[in-house]
Structure 1
Amino acid sequence: MDLEVLSTPGHLISLAARGFTRLSEARLKPLGFGVGHLPVLVALRDGQASTQRDLARFARVEQPPMAQMLARMERDGLIQRSPDPSDGRSSQITLTAVAEARLPEAIAVLLKGNQDALRGFSDEETTQLVSLLTRLIANLDQVASATSEPR
């Protein structure tokens, strides 16, 4: 029966992801952030990435959408770019004081959203869900990389 496809893990995870995105976007908007900004902001804050290429890799998005997001973030005063002294074609990206000041509240908002969404889940269930999703993501990455390899 075709309705079975609506009960598959892939479909249910997609629905959950869209629900988390809607909730997060609504709660982050007053802070001037979008949900897609958070991986970039955290990576910049923690020194895990400082170029567009590295940020795209960190956030697991393609270069063109990352370039568009960084342009909007720069326009909105969240990041600043400066020439990369080691590579004239690249820019070093850093957080602005505005973004640094708002980031702790944004993280708190996201954590509260997760807490609200997981209401009624025990700590053990939440830990198990995170573990299962982490394994699922690793499997998907492995399948995707095997699929993209030349044959």
Structure 2
Amino acid sequence: MDEDVLSTPGHLISLAARGFVRMSEARLKPLGFGVGQLPVLVALQNGKASTQRDLARFARIEQPPMAQMLARMERDGLIERTRDPADGRSSRIVLTKAAQQRMPEAITALFGGNREALVGFTDSEALQLVDLLTRLIENLDQISSADAALGDSRVL
């Protein structure tokens, strides 16, 4: 087979993702945010999660890296932790006032970057791209879940 590995969807999406990360980091860094923190910032801003476990699930990362990220975010003054009154072993996590105040500017910068990246795309093409990528992510999540289940059964 004479396929070009560098023209596969996986490789092209990886290149696009790295480009988005570079652009987003450049726009977020002056505001004191990192692109890896985005899922946490958005989840906390929208009230979708407030515990480390919920944030890890929302961001689709494991607990240990989430714990490290939250420790850095707390050190940098982006989040605060308080004891959960319902469960003394757990903490509730909230954005600091300073982080909340910078979020609108960060969101504006990110939407602007996305618009710039999609120059030359019609609105219909941009919507189709989002739909296709969403479906691709769902497929990859299913594959990952199936692989994890196979791995678990191999251990038994």
Q: Specify the alignment match of 2:144 in structure 1.
A: 144
SS of residue in 2 equivalent to 1:33: coil
Deviation of residue 38 (structure 1)?
A: 1.6
Structure 2: stretches of 5+ with no match in the other structure:
none
Matches within 5 A, 1:73-84: 73-84=73-84
- Percent identical pairs in the alignment equals 74
Q: Specify the alignment match of 2:26 in structure 1.
A: 26
The amino acid of 1:79's aligned partner reads: I
SS of residue in 1 equivalent to 2:4: helix
Q: Specify the alignment match of 1:105 in structure 2.
A: 105
Q: In 2, Cα distance between the equivalents of 1:66 and 1:110? A: 22
- Give the TM-score normalised by structure 1: 0.96
The amino acid of 2:131's aligned partner reads: S
- Please identify runs of 4+ aligned residues in structure 1 that moved more than 6 A: none
Q: Specify the alignment match of 1:49 in structure 2.
A: 49
Higher RCO structure (Cα 8 Å, ≥6 apart): 1
Q: In 2, Cα distance between the equivalents of 1:25 and 1:15? A: 15
User: Number of residue pairs matched?
Assistant: 151
Deviation of residue 84 (structure 1)?
A: 1.2
Q: Specify the alignment match of 2:96 in structure 1.
A: 96
SS of residue in 2 equivalent to 1:36: helix
SS of residue in 2 equivalent to 1:120: coil
Q: In 2, Cα distance between the equivalents of 1:112 and 1:34? A: 17
Q: Specify the alignment match of 1:16 in structure 2.
A: 16
SS of residue in 1 equivalent to 2:65: helix
Structure 1: stretches of 5+ with no match in the other structure:
none
CA offsets per residue over residues 61-102 of structure 1, 9 Å max, x none? 111111111111111111000111222221100011001100
- Give the TM-score normalised by structure 2: 0.93
